[in-house]
Structure 1
Amino acid sequence: MVRAKYLTKITDINKMYIDKILKEGDIVVDATMGNGYDTKYLAEKVGSSGFVYSFDIQEEAISSTKKRLLESNLENRVKLILDGHENMGQYVDEEVSCVLFNLGYLPGFKHMVVTKPQTTIKAIEASLKILKPHGIVSIAIYTGHPGGEDEKNSVYDFVSTLDQKEFNVLESSFLNQINNPPRLILIEKKKIY
Structure 2
Amino acid sequence: MQERLTSEEHTMIDLIDLEKYFLSAHLFEGCTAVDFTMGNGHDTLFLTHAVGEQGRVYAFDIQPQALENTRALLEKENAPNNYELILSSHDRFEEYVEGGIDAGMFNLGFLPGGDKSITTKRETTEQAVKRAVACLKPGGGLVIAVYPGHTEGRVEGNRLEAILETYDRRFICVSKFEIVNSPTSPFFFVVEKGDHAPF
- Mark yes or no: TM-score above 0.5: yes
- Would you say 1:50 and 2:55 are equivalent positions? yes
8 A contact 1:140–1:182 mirrored in 2 = yes
Whether the aligned pair in 1 keeps the contact of 2:53 and 2:80 (CA below 8 Å) is no
- Shift in Å, 1:160: 0.9
Residues 1:183 and 2:184 are matched in the alignment? no
The within-5 A match list for 1:1-193 is 8-74=13-79, 76-177=81-182, 180-190=184-194, 191-192=196-197
Shift of 1:124: 0.5
Alignment-mate amino acid for residue 188 of structure 1: E
Q: Quick check: 2:52–2:80 contact (8 Å CA) kept in 1?
A: no
The answer to whether the 8 Å contact 2:27/2:103 transfers is yes
Tell me, in whole angstroms, the C-alpha distance in 2 between the residues paired with 1:131 and 1:110: 32
Q: Rate the CA distance shift 1:79–1:116 in 2: closer, same or farther, 3 A.
A: same
What count of residue pairs does the alignment treat as equivalent? Answer: 188
Q: Deviations over 1:8-56 (max 9, x none)?
A: 4211111111222211111100000000000000001111111100000
- Aligned partners of 1:137 and 1:149: how far apart in 2? 20
> Counterpart of 2:141 in structure 1: which amino acid?
I
Q: Distance in 2 between matches of 1:71 and 1:21?
A: 26
Identity over aligned residues, as a percent?
35
With the length of structure 2 as denominator, give the TM-score of the two structures: 0.89
CA drift of 1:145 comes to 2.0
Please list every run of 5 or more consecutive structure 1 residues that lacks an aligned counterpart in the other structure: none
Cα distance, 1:177 vs. partner? 3.5
